[in-house]
Structure 1
């Protein structure tokens, strides 16, 4: 390897890290009340210009930014992992029933127990995501051929359709449940608190560990099941570990910020382009971390735009991501044929 080629990954890490830090600073600075970056820096160092700035930065924007970082990283990782496991470039975490399971569980929690706070129903959302994904996994492994990418995707689509119908049936008969569910389903970082982030961190840490440890096996799976098996990969164990990681990452993220569409779908494609430009190729040991950095960049940018576009009224980040993600994904599809991804 030449010296210039060896420097490429280092330069990539530096650029991604710089971009993420700059976006975090913007997230702390911009909103209904804009705060100059120098005042934000002074506040973070313990020397705020006044109490109002201290309260805005530490009580509202630091938790919000931290939640955007963690939830975005989780959705980016789970999206890249989902596409690798199913070998389907159109796959995202929702294909395993994660979003549909969380949505149905939250509606039931609101309907049956009257829960309205995020910390009140986060555990219901996570349990629903786990249950739905388990059903998808069990359905996908039925039959003589065992668990295959096609069967897993088909099982996910079927379970998602069923749970979405049940969710609609509940919310349409209860206006109160509809109001609470509608705000959550738009996808927002606006309800973030320090305790929200702390509740989510264990799921992110364990899910990220499982996902990143799958990376070498995912490189083998990309060559086909037969080749991967001949290389000594235990396909069932790898897919089970991947499904658990997706449930932990996407289930936790969906529970705390709602189902943000396009993030887990678009970001892995962008990560492949970045890795290709850096000369890293389709190596999941790089694709997964790159996805974990690009996703929070996009989510935080969407959140910033949502704060500014109609301030002081905020537009949920999930809506902005959909506006950004749709055209961006169309551009990706036009640039590269899906069969070649």
Structure 2
């Protein structure tokens, strides 16, 4: 019991310091190195004619904030999905949630150009729900389709299908370059207005996640046990999926698709804090934020001075982890 209480507290206390250090390094170093003093001056005494100040204020700070938010959002969304489905492979990137968002955004760019930022976020959320609905719908129609490995395969197939349709539509209407940003991530060109608008949507998603954390813990024990304890499982799943849709839709609308964060971070978090989602959700949020900022920093130096897409870095880490989970658990459900 002591470990359960002390470890989450230690993570929540230590993570902000680690995040601050990595974030500062990320702001200071890049294609052009900028001193920490200049970074501070760009915040406290911004000079519109100073190129370094412009780089920090309009480029690097929005990028870091966006990466922090997206890392938190995707990690929490993945933790919720794994809890309510009892599926250790559940994550936004493997269950069609990310692909559904990007698909609907593609349709919006083609058929409804000029939409406002909040409308793009709402449509991205709609796409998240659509992608998850299709994947779990197909899974329920196939024998043992809801088992972890089969559901991951279905999610990958559906995601690939949606991506292919979106690519074909984008090419036909000659908007491929615009759409590619959402499929290859665009952390280097974060829209400050979209960033500010994403914060309240993300807060709503995180609030829903925290409010339902105790219920998710009970649900993760199994359907029969949860019902026996008086749990309204359908209500819990609806609220939880609303949180997932809100968090994932906001993340994709902000920077595009980033895979494996929602798969890897919840497992790492459970290793440290146990199975109580009252601890898992806040800890996953801070660990996810640190993880993605660290990946973003690595992406700048893997092929310096050229940037490697952050999704490549998360995939390098996530794919071996994915294979490890399959080898370790096989087709069994997460307990």
TM-score interval, smaller chain = 0.7 to 0.9
Aligned residues: 327
Consecutive unaligned residues in structure 2, runs of 5 or more: none
| Inter-partner Cα distance in structure 2 for 1:87 and 1:102 | 23
CA-atom RMSD in angstroms: 3.4
TM-score (norm 2): 0.83
User: Deviations along 1:154-207, whole A, 9 cap, x unmatched?
Assistant: 986776465345324424534x23222223201231121321211111210111
Listed as ranges, the matches of 1:176-255 within 5 Å are 176-255=174-253
| Inter-partner Cα distance in structure 2 for 1:300 and 1:236 | 35
Task: Name the counterpart of 1:266.
Answer: 264
| Alignment match of 1:293 (pick from 286, 299, 316) | 286
TM-score (norm 1): 0.82
User: Deviations along 1:125-156, whole A, 9 cap, x unmatched?
Assistant: 333334444566778899xxxxx966995986
| Inter-partner Cα distance in structure 2 for 1:123 and 1:32 | 35
Task: Name the counterpart of 2:9.
Answer: 10
Listed as ranges, the matches of 1:147-162 within 5 Å are 160=159
Compared with structure 1, are the counterparts of its residues 214 and 224 closer, same or farther at alpha carbon in structure 2 (3 Å cutoff)? same
Compared with structure 1, are the counterparts of its residues 85 and 218 closer, same or farther at alpha carbon in structure 2 (3 Å cutoff)? same
**SS at 1:208 equivalent:** helix
User: Deviations along 1:241-287, whole A, 9 cap, x unmatched?
Assistant: 01111000011101211110111111111112222xxxxx2111111
Task: Name the counterpart of 2:66.
Answer: 67
User: Deviations along 1:65-87, whole A, 9 cap, x unmatched?
Assistant: 11111111111110110111111
| Inter-partner Cα distance in structure 1 for 2:187 and 2:11 | 28
| Inter-partner Cα distance in structure 1 for 2:83 and 2:6 | 27
Deviates more, 1:122-131 or 1:96-105: 122-131
Deviates more, 1:289-298 or 1:34-43: 34-43
Report whether the alignment pairs 1:110 with 2:103: no
